[in-house]
Amino acid sequence: MRRPLALAALALLGGCTVGRDYTAPDLGAPPAWRATASAAVPQGPWWRAFDDPVLDRLEAEALAGNIDVEQALARVVQARAALRGSDAALRPLSEVTGTLVRRRQSENEGLGRLSTVVPDFPRTVDRGQLGLGSSWDLDFAGAARRRREAARAEAAGAEASVEVARLTISAEVADAYVAYRGAWARLSLLEQSEALLIDQRGIMAARVRLGEAPGRSLAESDASVAAASATSAPLRGEVAAQHNRLAVLLGRTPSEVLVLLEPGGDVPNAPDPAAGLPADVLRTRPDVVVAESRVAAASARTGAALAEYYPSVSLSGLVGLDSNRLGSFVSEGSSVLQGGAGLRWRLFDFGRIDADVRAARGREREVLAAYRQAVLTAAEDVETSFERLSAARARTLRLSARRASVQAVLNTARRAFAAGEISRDALLDSTRALVEADEGLAAARQDAARAIVACHRALGSPVDPPTLTVTASTPARSIPVQP
């Protein structure tokens, strides 16, 4: 008992704020990335690097109409309202109250019974009251201040959650768009390959009729045509699936036709993203910012729980008018003036306070572990995405070299065919080999473009407005939110 009494006395004398002030946890970031070099990160929307007007329009529409972003913005409205409420708790509360009543009392109740025995006793009673009252919790132990810190951190976390949603949606749109274009490019090449196989099948049918080839050769040609047709069917489904995915990301129904997505078109390409210093990337990645805001809020909630060990002192006052005669309501005789002080101390409830403090510290430990996990996951995302981009770039280079070799073979075959040295069937073989090389290269370019998108997502690349670092002391920044 002595320890709480001593602490309470110190709190009352010094007006302290109990609990430790928040300090950002150690990131534990490596000095450099293993899979890529650190460089200055460009500003502005990251997808502009693809230099694709259609993608720019899709991104703008998605960020304006996506339902996930709308939900995140709604949570910002709620968090800001809670922050305003916590700010108001630190200021004196004032309110005006007033009543004006005329009542005819029952003869069978209360003072009304006197009217039956006392001549001229009034049964009709007037009552007028008007007052301005104020109260103020002095918050010596700092409970309200800690709750305001928690609300500020939660509001900052809600705003960072908007950035998480915007980055996620922008990356999903870009990935779906790249996949859509890649599927169309590969489908077009497969259709060309199928047309070449059909031509070769016609040549083989003529050779079989002339007895220059066995009948099984025609069956093999039929099998090749059927295989090409079967391969193109999944790509048609992929085109439809990515179209539907984009429609939903834009806040539309999947059945709605997106006029922007005309058939055909090349797979967009962009330079490799610039990875900033690991500490800078991890500190500003939106999901890490959200995780840190939860740590800051939990730390402040622990301080608020500790403040319950100390007494709470409040001041109150009232000035107004009170009268049973309306005729003299506004007069010096009806004036009321009141002042007072209140004390609240959970002196015999320390067991429950202990439980609340332990629960708050457990929550703080939980969110701190979640923060560390978010940092590790973010670092893993960066390293893995750049490793995959490096592999996709290497594969693209190898397939580009292969295509150049196949193109040289086709050029030789064309000259030989013009000189009558090879048949048209042999020329079609070389042509089909080039189409197949083009299809493999298109798939590799699609993989590289999707890897670039994944790198930007892992880096938390800026989506206008830019990402912020959020701490418990950071004031709420301006994000356009519909009320």
Residue 455 lies in a domain: yes
> Is the torsion defined by CA of 460, 466, 472, 476 positive or negative?
negative
Note the pLDDT tens digit of each residue in 381-393: 999 999 999 999 9
Kindly state whether residue 406 falls inside one of the protein's structural domains: yes
Into how many domains does the chain fold? 1
Residues with Cβ < 8 Å from 129, sequence gap 6 or more?
A: 97, 98, 99, 100, 320, 321, 322
Domain assignment of residue 385, yes or no: yes
251 in a structural domain: yes
Question: Is residue 159 a part of any domain in this protein?
Answer: yes
Residue 435 is assigned to a structural domain of this protein: yes
180 part of a folded domain: yes
CA distance 137 to 346: 16
Q: Cα-Cα-Cα-Cα dihedral of 442, 447, 448, 454, to 10°?
A: 150
pLDDT band at 40 (very low <50, low <70, confident <90, very high): low
Distance CA 79, CA 153 (A): 9
Question: Rounded to an integer, what distance in angstroms lies between the CA atom of residue 194 and that of residue 185?
Answer: 14
Kindly state whether residue 116 falls inside one of the protein's structural domains.
Answer: no
Longest dimension (CA), the chain: 139
pTM of the entire predicted model = 0.79
Q: Are 300 and 22 in contact (CB under 8 A)?
A: yes
- 280-326 pLDDT, tens digit each: 888 889 999 999 999 999 999 999 899 889 998 888 888 888 888 77
> Domain with 407 in it: what CATH number?
1.20.1600.10
pLDDT, tens digit, 9 for 90 and up, residues 402-460: 999 999 998 998 888 888 888 888 888 888 888 889 999 999 999 999 999 999 999 98
Q: Pick the more confident residue, 219 or 166.
A: 166
What per-residue confidence (pLDDT) applies to 38? Answer: 67
Q: What is the predicted pLDDT for the residue at 470?
A: 38
What's the domain range around 40?
A: 18-96+125-312+321-459
